[in-house]
Amino acid sequence: MRHLLSPMDFTTEELDKLFDLANDIENNPAKYAHACDGRILATCFYEPSTRTRLSFESAMLRLGGQVLGFSDAGSSSASKGESVSDTIKVISGYADICAMRHPKEGAPMVAAEKSDIPVINAGDGGHQHPTQTLTDLLTIRSLTGTIGNFTIGLCGDLKFGRTVHSLIHALERYEGINFIFISPQELRVPDYITEELKANNIPYEEVTNLETVMPQLDFLYMTRVQRERFFNEEDYIRLKDFYILDTAKMELAKPEMLVLHPLPRVNEISVEVDKDPRAAYFKQAKYGVYVRMALILTLLELV
């Protein structure tokens, strides 16, 4: 039995197979419409979500399976003090696979140790968000034909943004990736990540000014400031609008640069940018369904 707890749990060859499957599902949905008949996905979300939970549910329903679960800890027996370990033991008897989001880093790993069914980390605190990374990589590959040999700017809250941490890890394994980290000083990418990049001779630079690096970028990965991870509201208010991508800044970018964002967006991308053909973030959200369909089939060993 296999889980997905970190984006590194799959080799790059396995990821290629997963993305081939996701593209096949996108092009031939009818072929997969009954692939999960009789199977049940549990979505155990101890933190809010729109995309991750609903795209998992959409994925299972589109595969012919069924879904059950909870969308906030307060409506589950976690509110009575039940542990994640006990919850997953019980859920193992109710479902065939579980996607879990939790505010505590490592909670899905703890669950996986006690689980009789595959567990998917759907985001754990400020740590990792592996299925968002699968979505990001599939988007990059589907829209450009390959993953590698590009400069990516990651902009915003690089300290608490788990999607950023997961994506950097995953991209470290591809050839020719040049990272530019764009953040206020207080929201810099954690040291353990820059130390890993240094140890592996992977080029990166850290800057605070978005405009000056815009012309270099092949991808701009925008992120929101993660209000829920701040210790005080004052700091959040001071930093929340540090970066706002607008049409004036887009004029500085390459004609083929793509803008990605895991969403939800708050103010960091003006809605006027949505009309720019380089804005790829809503397409990206849709790729999240195909890649989660491919992941469910893979972990249930149905392909």
Count the residues of the shown chain that bind ligand CP, applying the rule CB under 6 A. Answer: 10
Residue 264 found at the interface with ligand CP (CB under 6 A): yes
Which among 101, 159, 240, 261 is annotated as catalytic?
101
Residue 155: exposure state from Cβ atoms within 10 A (0-12, 13-18, ≥19): buried
Pairwise CA distance, residues 288 & 79, whole Å: 30
Count other Cβ atoms within 10 Å, centred on residue 282.
10
- Could you give phi then psi for residue 124, rounded to 5 degrees? -125, 110
C-beta of 142 vs 163, nearer to ligand CP: 163
CB 141, min distance to ligand CP, A: 18
Which among 39, 51, 165, 240 is annotated as catalytic?
51
Residue 52 found at the interface with ligand CP (CB under 6 A): yes
Contact between 134 and 166 under an 8 Å Cβ cutoff? The reply is: no
Check residue 123 and give left, alpha or beta (phi > 0: left; psi -120 to 50: alpha).
left
> Which one of residues 128, 132, 139, 284 is an interface residue with ligand CP (CB under 6 A)?
132
- If we measure between CA atoms, which residue out of 163, 99, 12 comes closest to residue 295? 99
C-beta of 214 vs 281, nearer to ligand CP: 281
CB 45, min distance to ligand CP, A: 8
> Which one of residues 3, 39, 51, 240 is an interface residue with ligand CP (CB under 6 A)?
51
Pairwise CA distance, residues 123 & 145, whole Å: 27
Annotated active-site residue 101? The verdict is: yes
Site for ligand CP in 106-125 (CB under 6 A): 123
Kindly list the residues in this chain that would bind ligand CP in the complex (CB under 6 A).
49-52, 123, 129, 132, 262-264
Give the residue numbers marked as catalytic: 51-52, 80, 101, 129
